[in-house]
Amino acid sequence: MPDNNYLDKLNEEQRAAVVHEGSPLLILAGAGSGKTRVITTKIAYLIKEKNIDPWSILSVTFTKKAANEMRERAVALDERAADAKIQTFHSFGAWFLRKYAEHAGLEPSFTVYDDDDVATLIKKAEPSLSTKEIRLAAHQISLAKDYCLTPEDDLSMIGSEFDLNDIYSKYQKRLRATGNADFGDLIMLPVQILEAYSDIADYIHNRFKVIMVDEYQDSNIAQYRLLQCLSGVKQGSSTYVCVVGDDDQSIYKFRGAEVENILTFPDKFPGTEIIKLERNYRSTASILHAADLVVKKNHHGSLEKTLIADREGGGKPVLAFLPDQNAEATFVADLVMKSLAGGAKYSDWAVLYRTNAQSLGFEKEFLHRKIPYVVVGSLKFYEREEIKDALAYISFFANHKDEISFRRIINKPTRGIGDKTQDKLMESAVTLNAEGAPVYSDLLENIRTHKDSLSKKAGEGADGFIKLFDTLANCFDENKPLSDFIERVIHDSSLDEYHRAGDEIEGTTRVQNLQELVNTAVPYKCTMEGLLQFLDAINLDRTLDAENQAVGDNAVTLITLHNTKGLEYNKVIITGLEEGVFPRMEKTGAELEEERRLFYVGITRARDELYITSTSKRCLYGRWDFMRPSPFIKEAAEAFTVIGQAPFGFGSGMGRSSVSDGYGAEVDAVAQKWKKGLHVYHDDYGDGAVVAAYSNSGEYVIEVQFATGQRKKFLPKYQAKSLEIIKD
């Protein structure tokens, strides 16, 4: 039955947002403040109390899941809400274009081209492009459409390495000739039609008297332009516009989202009233205190709000300083296991990280501890395409009769050796034994024998394949870690370059995943024995994974910070809070502020308990490296109970009740002598200056930038004799 007491369930600010009318409205909805309840209640209120025809209500959001939830909750309040148009931006665009197909140069029965279709069409439009260039051009054309840019516009802001205007123009002509559209068209073409045809714009303004947009901070330029056109704000239309969002949760710049859309909404829609939803119903007060300290460090045009906890108290969040990433995985697993004794469930826990590659350490630890887990938003580590590719190269090196690995790698990256050629090579490699059973010969030697019978292109590809494995056969060195060999396999096979192209275009982290595979090989010797031990360990992990498949709903969640948006968990652990990991090393200015907002999003996922981890050492690029704590955790340090051995100087000004440095007078003396800015000389590297000084795992570390351009780390306690302090 419809709910007749729906307004009584709202707090004062929520109610004000629901009953607001007249001027444009920006609902600034903080994390956990009940924004979906406000949107759905407002739809029902307009129908029930204001007699707005549901047919004239348009509400758009970004995901099908969110749209379905919005529709279900609105219908539960008033069944007539089923007639409102509650859709994603793209599904609305498709509806609009089917209605006005001829104005867009489309067939009314048009289909929407996916990424593969777009790539195929670009290849036909510009046959000279390589596969990598085609994928890059497809991405850049999509980006141009997100900015509502045509082939005739200046596309320099996209920074293409080729004549994008020409390729985009040829692609568009091909696309229009088919009578179909791509995803970018679903937003850009309605904008063009509404701007070009006043009669259609007038009809839309009369049709939709109420327009609501959810998650407005995630909108791109084309979506902002569409909202302007639909609302008729420039024409003085009486359409009521309400957008809901949170500038502090704008974390999708890499997908084209523009935080400026929400920051400048009051300027673009004159007379806008802002209602802030600041009461948080999810997290404890102590967790929100940490979130508030973090986000208030951003200075770029924030609309400013402060979350107020509906749930008072709660234990202080915990900041754990740990020796390395192995200790981090153990710490996380221990937390989970200890909580079970107190009645918690596996599903209470979520482990958050900045990049997908970081999941491997937790996956391995959980498998060996028999902790059920699910990886959200991506495949488990060993199921990822790039990892399977690398392991296939390594497995084939170890066993030249491995058909599965051979077929996976012989034409990846492309060598002109297709399926039919592979079948012929396999046939020539098979003989029958005395019992009539097939026996494979050495597949590498077989391709060496038969390469002259292949086509010119395939023969050249076979030559390169053979040379690769001949070279690798001479790369073992028992004095080096196996990671050196694995890194060479990935580089010499061009797998890194092949998957790097995918990273650039699709925003994935495949190269980082490959690097994490390299990191796991550090403990093994660079010998055939070490290689086989490495493969055995991976196969054991895969076997354990297969045994733990049936976990049901009760499992720990492993998830990237970006994928947590809109989710919540009882107990959250945010891992890898180190410079270069989170935030990423290359982030500065506005990008650094988005990284900080990402941390804020992670913190506000936690209902009851929050843990943050930071390690002193982490294996990066096949080597153990000293890490510095993320600047984010120092910004919010007062909100945390600190455990473990904090880095030197971390507790300054905080009071010893919060953190104990744990260093003696000896370390203090070293720190006093070797300070940042010191001019030094080294026999091997020459003149230099100390550009950083900090402590890790109880050891005081300095970083020296030399005049040669080299940057080196030293432990002055042990290496002072190699450095001479120059008195300026």
**Does 29 carry a binding-site annotation?**
yes
Q: Answer for the pair 15, 7: CB distance below 8 angstroms, yes or no.
A: yes
Cβ–Cβ < 8 Å for 376, 349: no
- Considering 37, 135, 571, 605, which one is annotated as catalytic? 605
Return the sign of the alpha-carbon dihedral for residues 251, 254, 255, 257.
positive
- Could you tell me if 608 and 261 are in contact, meaning their C-beta atoms sit under 8 angstroms apart? no
Residue with tokens 């076979």: 462
The answer for residues whose C-beta is within 8 angstroms of residue 600's C-beta and 6 or more apart is: 31, 248, 249, 291, 294, 295
Residues 6+ apart with CB under 8 A from 310: 279, 280, 281
Q: Which of 126, 214, 389, 545 is catalytic?
A: 214
Catalytic-residue membership of 35 = yes
Total length of the chain? 728
Identify which of 30, 640, 615, 541 has the alpha carbon closest to the alpha carbon of residue 283. 30
User: Which uninterrupted H or E stretch holds 242?
Assistant: strand 240-245
* Ramachandran angles phi, psi of 63, nearest 5°: -125, 150
320 is in an annotated binding site: no
283 assigned ligand-binding residue: no
CB 606 within 8 A of CB 658: no
Give the C-alpha separation, 539 to 521, whole Å: 14
H or E element: which one contains 651? none
End-to-end CA distance of the chain: 83
Question: At a CB cut-off of 8 Å and minimum separation 6, what does 388 contact?
Answer: 382, 408
Angle, helices 198-207 vs 185-196, to 10°: value is 110
Q: Is 379 helix (H, G, I), strand (E, B) or coil?
A: coil
Nearest to 185 by CA among 124, 139, 142, 151: 142
Q: Which of 13, 14, 35, 85 is catalytic?
A: 35
Q: Are strands 430-432 and 617-620 parallel, antiparallel or unpaired?
A: unpaired
Helix (H, G, I), strand (E, B) or coil at 625: strand
| 605 is annotated as an active-site residue | yes
Report phi then psi at 493, rounded to 5.
-80, -10
How far apart are alpha carbons 519 and 310 in whole angstroms?
Answer: 44
d(CA 250, CA 259): 6
Q: In 3-state terms, what secondary structure has residue 290?
A: helix
- What is the H or E stretch that residue 687 is in? strand 686-696
Catalytic option among 249, 557, 560, 575: 249
Residue 530 annotated as binding site = no
Identify the three-state secondary structure at position 686: strand
Closest CA relative to residue 243, chosen from 6, 83, 29? 29
Gap between the Cα atoms of 330 and 325, Å rounded? 9
Cα 255 from chain centroid (whole Å): 10
Catalytic-labelled residue, pool 146, 215, 496, 595: 215
User: Which residues does residue 703 pair with via DSSP β-bridges, in sequence order?
Assistant: 692, 713
Which ranges of 370-481 would DSSP assign to H, the alpha helix?
385-398, 403-409, 419-428, 443-450, 456-472
Strand partners, 643: 320
The rounded distance, in Å, linking the Cα atoms of 61 and 86 is 8
Instruction: Please return the burial class of 209, using the count of CB atoms within 10 Å of its CB with bins 0-12, 13-18 and 19+.
Output: middle
Judge whether 31 is annotated as a binding position.
yes
User: Is 646 flagged in the annotation as binding?
Assistant: no
- Say which residues have a Cβ less than 8 Å from residue 616's Cβ, sequence separation at least 6: 321, 322, 323, 324, 626, 627, 645, 647, 696, 697
Burial of 424 by CB count in 10 Å (0-12 exposed, 13-18 middle, 19+ buried)? middle
Contacts of 53 (CB under 8 A, 6+ apart): 209
What whole-number distance in Å separates Cα of residue 520 and Cα of residue 223?
A: 43
Concerning whether 480 is annotated as a catalytic residue, the answer is no
CA distance 67 to 33: 18
Residue 381 to residues 375, 408, 448, 554, Cα–Cα distance (Å) = 9, 18, 34, 20
Binding residues for ATP: 29-36
Catalytically active residues are: 35-36, 214-215, 249, 605
Binding residues: 29-36
